[in-house]
């Protein structure tokens, strides 16, 4: 009788162990992600919990870009990240982008950034906005939100902008304002405005206004050239419906060239000068 009871206890223990092993095996199988290999499932599981990091290379093996951040969610090819940091490596300059959150597309390698977005180049250009998109195959970054770009003594703001990843060439879309140099010069236009920081010039379009302590200049289009060190304007070529206001003098012409160093304006295209003596003050030299 005692042998029979002992045998039953052994059978219950064996049955319990078998059930435990069976349930444990089922749990492990259910943990795998459908359609993924064991290695891929492990990688995806780690990305959901740990930091996300991915690097892209050129054909020759040179590092082209990298994206890092905390992964909050992975849905198909999209990786939603927080505390994002992305880097683009170029021939002449590198750019680092940071944001509170963003989305990385694992198929296209495109990046969408939101909230406190800041892009900084190794050459000293800084871009700030609320939303920024990085289009990998087109090698450009763009936004339709308010944007501010600073470089040394030059600050530019606008609504919407598009740039090369190295931030050397930027197109500001509309409602553009540039503040540069000391003494300060302010240039505004409806846009677009294209600036080349590498070659130190900018092209302003539509309802352009150039203003400093010496007067104002209005025109349809203006090309401004800058000193690479001081960011002061050295030359302005104004075209179309040019009007210069200085003290009580109004000057009209088809085109005008302002030379800052020489402090003079060259007018072309049947210039006309209107003088209002009752409003005239002793004009300062230059524009």
pLDDT in tens, 133-190: 999 888 889 999 999 999 888 899 999 999 988 888 999 999 999 998 777 889 999 9
Choosing from 111, 141, 167, the residue where a domain stops is 167
Choosing from 167, 183, 210, the residue where a domain stops is 167
Q: Is residue 276 part of a domain?
A: yes
Do 130 and 189 belong to one domain?
no
Residue 59 has phi, psi (to 5 degrees) of -60, -35
Give the tens place of pLDDT for each residue, 253-278: 999 998 988 888 899 887 777 666 55
Q: Is residue 26 part of a domain?
A: no
Summarize the confidence of residues 231-251 as an average pLDDT: 90
Q: Identify which has the larger pLDDT, 100 or 42.
A: 100
User: How many domains, in total, are found in the chain?
Assistant: 2
Residue 273 β-bridge partners: 251
**Does the pLDDT of residue 81 top 80, yes or no?**
yes
Give the global pTM.
Answer: 0.76
Q: Is residue 108 part of a domain?
A: yes
Domain range holding 122? Answer: 50-167
N residues, the chain: 287
User: What is the CA angle 45-47-48, rounded to 5?
Assistant: 65
User: What percent of the chain is predicted at pLDDT more than 70?
Assistant: 77
Q: Is residue 129 part of a domain?
A: yes
Do 180 and 269 belong to one domain?
yes
Do 249 and 286 belong to one domain?
yes
Do 181 and 232 belong to one domain?
yes
Most confident of 23-32, 48-57, 66-75, 101-110: 101-110
**Does the pLDDT of residue 284 top 60, yes or no?**
no
Summarize the confidence of residues 231-238 as an average pLDDT: 89
Do 127 and 183 belong to one domain?
no
pLDDT of residue 19: 31
């Amino acid at each position: 009788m005692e042998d029979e009871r002992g045998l039953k206890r052994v059978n219950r223990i064996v049955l319990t162990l078998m059930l435990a092993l069976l349930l444990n095996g089922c749990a492990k199988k259910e943990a795998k992600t459908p359609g993924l290999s064991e290695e891929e499932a492990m990688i995806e599981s780690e990305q959901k919990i740990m930091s996300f990091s991915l690097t892209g290379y050129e054909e020759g093996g040179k590092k082209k870009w990298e994206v890092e951040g905390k992964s909050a969610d992975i849905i198909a090819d999209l990786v939603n990240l927080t505390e994002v940091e992305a880097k683009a490596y170029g021939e002449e300059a590198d750019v680092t982008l940071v944001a509170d959150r963003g989305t990385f597309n694992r198929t296209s390698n495109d990046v969408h950034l939101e909230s406190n977005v800041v892009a900084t180049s190794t050459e000293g250009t800084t871009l700030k906005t609320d939303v920024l998109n990085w289009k990998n195959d087109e090698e450009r970054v763009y936004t339709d939100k308010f944007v501010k770009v600073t470089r040394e003594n030059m600050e530019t703001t606008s609504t919407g902008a598009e740039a090369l990843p190295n931030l050397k060439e930027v197109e500001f879309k509309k409602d553009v304002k540039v503040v540069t140099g000391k003494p300060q010069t302010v240039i505004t236009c409806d846009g677009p405005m294209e600036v080349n920081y590498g070659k130190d010039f900018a092209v302003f379009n539509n309802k352009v206004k150039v203003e400093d302590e010496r007067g104002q200049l209005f025109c349809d289009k203006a090309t401004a050239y800058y000193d690479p060190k001081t960011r002061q304007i050295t030359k302005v070529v104004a075209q179309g419906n040019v009007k210069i206001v200085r003290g009580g003098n109004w000057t009209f012409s088809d085109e005008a060239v302002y030379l800052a160093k020489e402090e003079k304006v060259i007018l072309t295209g049947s210039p006309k000068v209107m003088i209002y003596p009752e409003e005239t003050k002793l004009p300062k030299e230059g524009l």
